[in-house]
Amino acid sequence: MNNLKKIILTICFLLGISSLSVAQPIPASCSPATLAYNYNFGITNVTFNTINNTSNDGVDGYSDFTTMSTTILEGQVYTLSIQTAAVSTQNYAAWIDFNNDGVFDDVTERVFTASSQLNTSGNIVIPIGAVLNTDLRLRVSSDFNGSAPPTPCLDLEFGQAEDYTVVITTNSNPPIAGFSVPDTLTCSGTVCFTDESLNIPTSWLWYFGDGNTSLQQSPCHTYAVDGDYTVSLIVTNANGSDADTIVNYITVNMAGQVIAASCTPATISYCCGYGISQVIFGNINNSTADGVEGYQDFSCSNKTVVNEGSTYLLTTNTGTSNSQDTRVWIDFNHDGVFNNTNELVMDAPNSYSPTQNVLIPVGATLNIPIRLRISSDIVDVGQLACDNNDRGQTEDYSIIINLPNSVNELITLKNSIVIYPNPVQEYVNIQNISKHKKINSIAIYNSVGQQVLDVMDVDNELTKINVSNYNKGLYFLKIEAENELVIKKITIY
């Protein structure tokens, strides 16, 4: 590196350039060392805006690449990508010294976190209030996921830290409106919206589709009536305004709400593929990431109807990396509390992806959604329904118990249609969990209301449709039965 600088300075001297500007953030308060490099842990490539640097892995230990600089805008979103040569997963973190004091604050200046991944990437939002037009230090760290998660100054066991330079400049662009919600289906009626608009809006105007509005940046709103709602957001700053509207974005189904559980177990220190990746029970068939997601409540979006006194097969996919203790409870008395006496329906210690028949007992609460809980964690921890998980996770679902051969008046066609997977890439499944509602026809419409498919072969129980040839985006399923019409949203990616 010193020889390179000498060459550049010599060229500048020959060209008559009196000075050379090299990116030089102020010195950092620490430089994390690599204690015991092994197994190719560390970083082999960092890409961030115009920075694209390929290097050795953790064998180099801490690496100062602050001569590599990129200029970014406040209020914008940029993608950070990190690659590794390791064959085992790592934990990652990144920080930007926004206030230029040489110290990385692990809360306000942490801009990226990823757990138990190989190559990884994610978005970084550049906030308002950072020091502008100044060389600021960007630090990227990685280490084996069995080691302590990276912090700004912690020495790395096997991995490494690398530093780069960013320069943040004023953003003079008009805003670009955007927003999201954790789940577009709500059973409580309450939805919390997150503003994801770019270019630093200074005012917000929300239309929730039920006649109510808000001026908050990221409001929570409670809908009073079941239905589908179109949401709009108008954002403004000194340079202009923009609007974003999503038709039928929010679906409210308060009939599907489950009583709140007395606890929501957290994942304390996820590692190594522990947790739950798929649950199959009755008409529930839900595939997810593993314990990296922590506790997940699927009780609104994933439910099934079962009969009192009948037996149903429960399958939990926990992967093949580690044996786990997997336990399942059903809140039969609907009090929000799970007990091990008569509500523990599966106990599968030290196993891989256990499968077991579950008997629905006589005397359970009937005709309303009740909570089903699945926990899977490391072996020999004696997991109870409210215990936090060491490395695994807990997921909740819901079931409705009927008397045999009875008609559940609460189950309309809308509540009995299960769409999976969603988002979808190739085949979408349309499953009817009601034996009392017959599907007559299914059609698909694009986001502007044009019909793109009329399904000719409709199966009342399970219809499978190939959507791999459609353009990516939002579509609507129109499902008709006797005296009832259901519209469901799907996203093709």
Query: What does the DSSP assignment read for 73-101?
Result: ETT-EEEEEEE---SS-EEEEEEE-TT-S
For the chain, what percent of residues have pLDDT higher than 90? 66
Q: What is the pLDDT of residue 23?
A: 59
- What's the longest Cα–Cα distance across the chain? 93
Q: Which of 8-22, 183-197, 470-484 has the highest mean pLDDT?
A: 183-197
Based on the domain organization, do 385 and 453 belong to the same domain? Answer: no
Give the residue among 300, 434, 310, 285 at the shortest CA–CA distance from 371. 300
Decide if pLDDT at 10 tops 80: no
Based on the domain organization, do 152 and 219 belong to the same domain? Answer: no
Decide if pLDDT at 12 tops 90: no
Based on the domain organization, do 392 and 423 belong to the same domain? Answer: no
Decide if pLDDT at 22 tops 50: yes
Based on the domain organization, do 149 and 30 belong to the same domain? Answer: yes
**Does residue 246 form part of some domain?**
yes
Taking 3-state DSSP, the helix, strand and coil percentages for the chain, each rounded to the nearest 5, stand at: 5, 45, 50
Q: What is the pLDDT of residue 417?
A: 76
The DSSP code sequence of 224-286 is -S-EEEEEEEEEEETTEEEEEEEEEEEEE-GGG--PPPS--PPBSS--TT-S-SEEEETTEEE
Decide if pLDDT at 315 tops 90: yes
Based on the domain organization, do 82 and 149 belong to the same domain? Answer: yes
Domain that holds residue 299: 268-402
Q: What is the pLDDT of residue 88?
A: 86
Q: How many domains does the chain have?
A: 4
Decide if pLDDT at 69 tops 80: yes
Contact 171, 200 (CB under 8 A): yes
Averaged pLDDT, 114-118: 88
Tokens 């929000």 sit at which residue? 336
| Of 56-65, 171-180, 411-420, the least confident | 411-420
- Given 115, 134, 169, the domain boundary residue is 169
Q: What is the pLDDT of residue 491?
A: 87
Averaged pLDDT, 272-292: 91
Decide if pLDDT at 3 tops 80: no
Decide if pLDDT at 387 tops 90: yes
Hey, which residues does 287 pair with through a beta bridge?
A: 278
Q: What is the pLDDT of residue 1?
A: 41
Decide if pLDDT at 480 tops 70: yes
- Given 352, 371, 402, the domain boundary residue is 402
**Alpha-carbon separation of residue 378 from 146, 231, 313, 382 (angstroms):** 14, 43, 24, 10
* DSSP structure class, residue 176: B
Q: What is the pLDDT of residue 15?
A: 42
Cis before 25? omega within 30: no
Determine the residue type at 443.
A
What kind and span of H or E run contains 420?
A: strand 417-420
Decide if pLDDT at 455 tops 80: yes
Decide if pLDDT at 157 tops 70: yes
Confidence of residue 8 (pLDDT cuts 50, 70, 90): very low
Averaged pLDDT, 61-78: 95
Mean confidence (pLDDT) of the chain? 88
Based on the domain organization, do 124 and 83 belong to the same domain? Answer: yes
Averaged pLDDT, 161-180: 95
* pTM for this model (two decimals): 0.67
Q: What is the pLDDT of residues 220-266, one digit of tens each?
A: 999 999 889 999 999 999 999 999 999 999 999 888 889 999 999 99
Tokens 């960007």 sit at which residue? 138
Q: What is the pLDDT of residue 5?
A: 42
Distance CA 310, CA 29 (A): 65
**Does residue 7 form part of some domain?**
no
Burial class (CB in 10 A: 0-12, 13-18, 19+), 348: buried
Confidence of residue 413 (pLDDT cuts 50, 70, 90): low
Averaged pLDDT, 417-442: 79
Q: Quickly list H helices, 315-412.
A: none
**Does residue 392 form part of some domain?**
yes
**Does residue 47 form part of some domain?**
yes
Q: What is the pLDDT of residue 418?
A: 76
Give the residue among 370, 359, 298, 360 at the shortest CA–CA distance from 334. 370
**Does residue 258 form part of some domain?**
no
Confidence of residue 2 (pLDDT cuts 50, 70, 90): very low
- Given 121, 136, 169, the domain boundary residue is 169
Count CB-CB contacts under 10 A for residue 453: 16
Identify which has the larger pLDDT, 449 or 75.
75
Averaged pLDDT, 425-441: 78
Q: What is the pLDDT of residue 44?
A: 97
Tokens of 416: 């009995």
**Does residue 8 form part of some domain?**
no
Averaged pLDDT, 462-477: 88
Q: Quickly list H helices, 123-212.
A: none
**Does residue 48 form part of some domain?**
yes
**Does residue 257 form part of some domain?**
no
Q: What is the pLDDT of residue 405?
A: 59
Determine the residue type at 185.
L
Contact 278, 317 (CB under 8 A): yes
| Of 161-165, 404-408, 464-468, the least confident | 404-408
Count CB-CB contacts under 10 A for residue 224: 10
Q: What are the residues whose beta carbons fall under 8 Å from the beta carbon of 92, sequence distance 6 or more?
A: 82, 112, 113, 114, 115, 117, 120, 140, 141, 142, 150
Q: What is the pLDDT of residues 43-62, one digit of tens each?
A: 999 999 999 999 999 999 99
| Of 15-29, 64-78, 189-203, 424-438, the least confident | 15-29
CA geometry: angle 90, 96, 98, nearest 5 deg: 160
What kind and span of H or E run contains 47?
A: strand 45-48
Q: What is the pLDDT of residue 272?
A: 84
Hey, which residues does 487 pair with through a beta bridge?
A: 478
Is the sign of the CA dihedral 135, 101, 197, 239 positive or negative? negative
Based on the domain organization, do 374 and 348 belong to the same domain? Answer: yes
User: Within 13 A of 211's CA, how many CA atoms are on the CB side?
Assistant: 2
The DSSP code sequence of 444-456 is EEETTS-EEEEES
48 φ, ψ (degrees, to nearest 5): -150, 110
Q: Which CATH number goes with the domain that contains 213? A: 2.60.40.10
Q: How many angstroms separate the first and last alpha carbons of the chain?
A: 45
